[in-house]
A and B are shown apart, each in its own frame.
Chain A
Amino acid sequence: MKFKRHSVIPGFGFTLGFTLTYLSLIVLIPLSLLFLKATTLGWEHFWHTVVSARVLASLRLSFGTALASALVNAVFGLLVAWVLVRYDFPGKKIVDALVDLPFALPTAVAGIALTTLYAPHGWMGRLLAGLGIKAAFTPLGITLALIFIGLPFVVRTVEPILQDFEKEIEEAAFSLGANRWQTFCKVILPAILPALLTGCAMAFSRAVGEYGSVVFIAGNMPLKTEIAPLLIMTKLEQYDYAGATAIAGVMLVISFLLLFATHLFQAWTRQYERV
């Protein structure tokens, strides 16, 4: 097999060359340098840094809250997509447009808004305090911020699949005697599951690395509410480049695995689309 299939359209060498150069300079070389730097630490130093209680706690917190937020978004994101696709209500267009807000709103702005909202004297904070729940400066607060950030990923991935879902398939299920719940569980859900998982994986991977919207509401107490990206930041501010690099290396490897998983889910989604 040849490297490239023939085409009469010109510009392949130039555009591919430009793309590869740009990608190398901006993304690949700097990222590889990070891994290179991590290897110069020596295994022992690296291991020592990564398994320190503070780093482990921060990784656990970042991945734990990201997972919790992805699960919440799986349920509510699906619900929102469902309602937006299948029902009509006044103001639907505006609501639909607003779903993208977390994409468009700078994360620092989201961060201070959510913190003010859930702080003990904030509107939601007071409400929750009445129930004996403390949100801001706890893992719950972090999860709330990550739900905000991740919501559009799930809604926007599931929406088109729900939209394309043929009415006849549902009607076929009814005509074969399935009730509404059975139809949902056995017919609709399996069809949208790949998309739902893709959306969740995207939301999760965004949440793991999220910084701006979380850093204000987190409280940033070492071992308790200090997320991994913040710990990198702290290490940097203390000129502990080795420590920062080690944590970043671990996070990157996990993120790349997630990216790989996301691509698998997407391939799965497309397979469904073809059928």
Chain B
Amino acid sequence: MSIQVFDVTKKFDDFTALQNISLEVAEGERVALLGPSGSGKTTLLRVISGLEPADSGRVVIRGNEMTDEKVSDRKVGFVFQHYALFRHMSVFENVAFGLRVRSKSERPGNADIKKRVLELLKLVRLDSMASRYPSQLSGGQRQRVALARALAIEPNMLLLDEPFGALDAKVRRELRQWLRELHDKLGMTSIFVTHDQEEALELADRVVVMNRGRIEQIGTPDEIYHHPANEFVCEFLGNVNFFHCRLEGEKVYLGNTGVRISDKFGLDSKHNKVYIRPHRLEISRVPAEDSFGATIRLIHSAGPLVRVEIEVHSGERASVELSQERFCELDLKKGEAVYVVAKEIRAYPGDYSI
């Protein structure tokens, strides 16, 4: 195991940022900490790095107890959310910093430093920018400098706090792909914090979904997306419709409309809320066995998928996603009455409110 976190708790005054968190990250693994702001994901990253001490619990890195070790002894590469580049130093000096501040006995010679820094800059494709200052770089370039600087100290692992948070959408996508390739090349254990589910699902080997200082679910992107462990994960990952319902025998009643369900949804009579992803609802012109009636309220057809807002007879609203082809085929218009079939319904135990 590369990184092990055992039962870590951290409080800020009255606010519990982390509560009994345990996590294991394998060598070379890429893990995303995903959650809304205030969920504790950044705090967990800072506890692992040593920037923040835990109130209780342990941090073990490569089998070595690190709980009470200083930040500088943990050898972590940390990429700050706003990069924290030294603004008065050139790109070259920024990357060289970690080597230059070593004690005399460990410090490489100037020629070695130069060689190493230029290698790193080549790696992040900034070798032509070595003499520039951070203020003269674009956001994406700064991010890459921050990464090169973190890599310069040959860290045990890479910790990235919202690595793409400060970038615009297009640069984000490019960088994401680039970072993935770079990571595959280096094979370094890394943990990154993000609040963007798309980013987490695309980049990580495993995703840790956090909420209110607790871990809600740990799993591969597929597991997390297709089998959300609970209501929170289900709602946090992607769009989802939720309906109030009532269970009677074989049927789920959404408002007054009874929809027959098959056993595979695993619902029982205690549930009164169900979740359905927009692409798991299907619209048709003719009633089918499990269908329920709805009225089309809005149509957003700009984009790869068409999103249709429907109102179920119970008065609840939901959105449905369908392909452009299917949309043309059905020739839907605002205000029309249609039939809807749910292909997949999710419900969670303990969700018995209302």
**A interface with B by C-beta (< 8 Å):** 1, 6, 8
Are B50 and A8 in contact, CB atoms less than 8 angstroms apart? yes
Are B13 and A1 in contact, CB atoms less than 8 angstroms apart? yes
Are A6 and B53 in contact, CB atoms less than 8 angstroms apart? yes
The smallest beta-carbon distance between A11 and chain B, in angstroms, is 14
Nearest chain-B residue to A1 (Cβ)?
B13
Are B13 and A6 in contact, CB atoms less than 8 angstroms apart? no
Nearest chain-A residue to B14 (Cβ)?
A1
The smallest beta-carbon distance between A214 and chain B, in angstroms, is 45
CA gap between A6 and B70 in the complex, in Å: 13
The smallest beta-carbon distance between A153 and chain B, in angstroms, is 32
CA gap between A96 and B316 in the complex, in Å: 65
- B223 interfacial contact with A, CB 8 Å: no
Q: How many residues of B contact A (CB 8 A)?
A: 7
- B248 interfacial contact with A, CB 8 Å: no
The smallest beta-carbon distance between B112 and chain A, in angstroms, is 28
Q: Which residues of A contact B50 (CB under 8 A)?
A: 8
The smallest beta-carbon distance between A31 and chain B, in angstroms, is 34
5 A-B residue pairs with CB within 8 Å: A6-B52, A6-B53, A8-B51, A8-B70, A8-B71
CA gap between A137 and B71 in the complex, in Å: 67
Nearest chain-A residue to B13 (Cβ)?
A1
The smallest beta-carbon distance between A48 and chain B, in angstroms, is 52
Nearest chain-B residue to A8 (Cβ)?
B71
The smallest beta-carbon distance between A10 and chain B, in angstroms, is 10
Produce 1/0 per residue, B31-72, CB < 8 A to A: 000000000000000000011110000000000000000110
Nearest chain-B residue to A7 (Cβ)?
B51
The smallest beta-carbon distance between B13 and chain A, in angstroms, is 6
CA gap between A106 and B53 in the complex, in Å: 51
Q: Report the 6 A-B pairs with minimum CB-CB distance, sorted nearest first.
A: A8-B71, A8-B51, A6-B53, A1-B13, A6-B52, A8-B50
CA gap between A8 and B71 in the complex, in Å: 7
The smallest beta-carbon distance between B172 and chain A, in angstroms, is 29
The smallest beta-carbon distance between A75 and chain B, in angstroms, is 42
Nearest chain-B residue to A2 (Cβ)?
B13
Q: Which residues of A contact B13 (CB under 8 A)?
A: 1
CA gap between A6 and B50 in the complex, in Å: 11
Q: Which residues of A contact B53 (CB under 8 A)?
A: 6
CA gap between A6 and B71 in the complex, in Å: 13
CA gap between A8 and B84 in the complex, in Å: 15
CA gap between A1 and B12 in the complex, in Å: 9
Q: Which residues of A contact B52 (CB under 8 A)?
A: 6
The smallest beta-carbon distance between B34 and chain A, in angstroms, is 26
The smallest beta-carbon distance between B313 and chain A, in angstroms, is 46
Q: Which residues of B contact A8 (CB under 8 A)?
A: 50-51, 70-71
CA gap between A6 and B68 in the complex, in Å: 13
CA gap between A1 and B53 in the complex, in Å: 15
Nearest chain-B residue to A6 (Cβ)?
B53
CA gap between A6 and B43 in the complex, in Å: 13
The smallest beta-carbon distance between B217 and chain A, in angstroms, is 30
The smallest beta-carbon distance between A57 and chain B, in angstroms, is 53
The smallest beta-carbon distance between B153 and chain A, in angstroms, is 15
Nearest chain-B residue to A10 (Cβ)?
B70
CA gap between A1 and B14 in the complex, in Å: 9
The smallest beta-carbon distance between A3 and chain B, in angstroms, is 13
CA gap between A8 and B52 in the complex, in Å: 8
The smallest beta-carbon distance between A4 and chain B, in angstroms, is 12
CA gap between A8 and B69 in the complex, in Å: 11
CA gap between A252 and B50 in the complex, in Å: 47
The smallest beta-carbon distance between A9 and chain B, in angstroms, is 10
Produce 1/0 per residue, B98-141, CB < 8 A to A: 00000000000000000000000000000000000000000000
CA gap between A6 and B13 in the complex, in Å: 12
The smallest beta-carbon distance between A218 and chain B, in angstroms, is 50
Q: Which residues of A contact B71 (CB under 8 A)?
A: 8
Nearest chain-B residue to A5 (Cβ)?
B12
The smallest beta-carbon distance between B150 and chain A, in angstroms, is 16
CA gap between A75 and B52 in the complex, in Å: 51
The smallest beta-carbon distance between A5 and chain B, in angstroms, is 8
CA gap between A165 and B52 in the complex, in Å: 39
Q: Which residues of B contact A1 (CB under 8 A)?
A: 13
The smallest beta-carbon distance between B223 and chain A, in angstroms, is 36
Nearest chain-A residue to B50 (Cβ)?
A8
The smallest beta-carbon distance between A103 and chain B, in angstroms, is 29
CA gap between A220 and B51 in the complex, in Å: 62
The smallest beta-carbon distance between A22 and chain B, in angstroms, is 28
CA gap between A8 and B50 in the complex, in Å: 8
The smallest beta-carbon distance between B180 and chain A, in angstroms, is 30
The smallest beta-carbon distance between A233 and chain B, in angstroms, is 48
CA gap between A216 and B50 in the complex, in Å: 63
The smallest beta-carbon distance between B120 and chain A, in angstroms, is 24
Q: Which residues of A contact B51 (CB under 8 A)?
A: 8
For window 1-51 of B, CB contacts with A under 8 Å fall at: 13, 50-51
Q: Which residues of A contact B70 (CB under 8 A)?
A: 8
Q: Which residues of B contact A6 (CB under 8 A)?
A: 52-53
Nearest chain-A residue to B12 (Cβ)?
A5
The smallest beta-carbon distance between A2 and chain B, in angstroms, is 9
CA gap between A6 and B53 in the complex, in Å: 7
The smallest beta-carbon distance between B159 and chain A, in angstroms, is 14
For window 302-327 of B, CB contacts with A under 8 Å fall at: none
CA gap between A122 and B52 in the complex, in Å: 68
CA gap between A11 and B158 in the complex, in Å: 27
Nearest chain-A residue to B51 (Cβ)?
A8
CA gap between A1 and B15 in the complex, in Å: 11
CA gap between A8 and B51 in the complex, in Å: 6
CA gap between A80 and B50 in the complex, in Å: 53
The smallest beta-carbon distance between B184 and chain A, in angstroms, is 31
The smallest beta-carbon distance between A219 and chain B, in angstroms, is 55
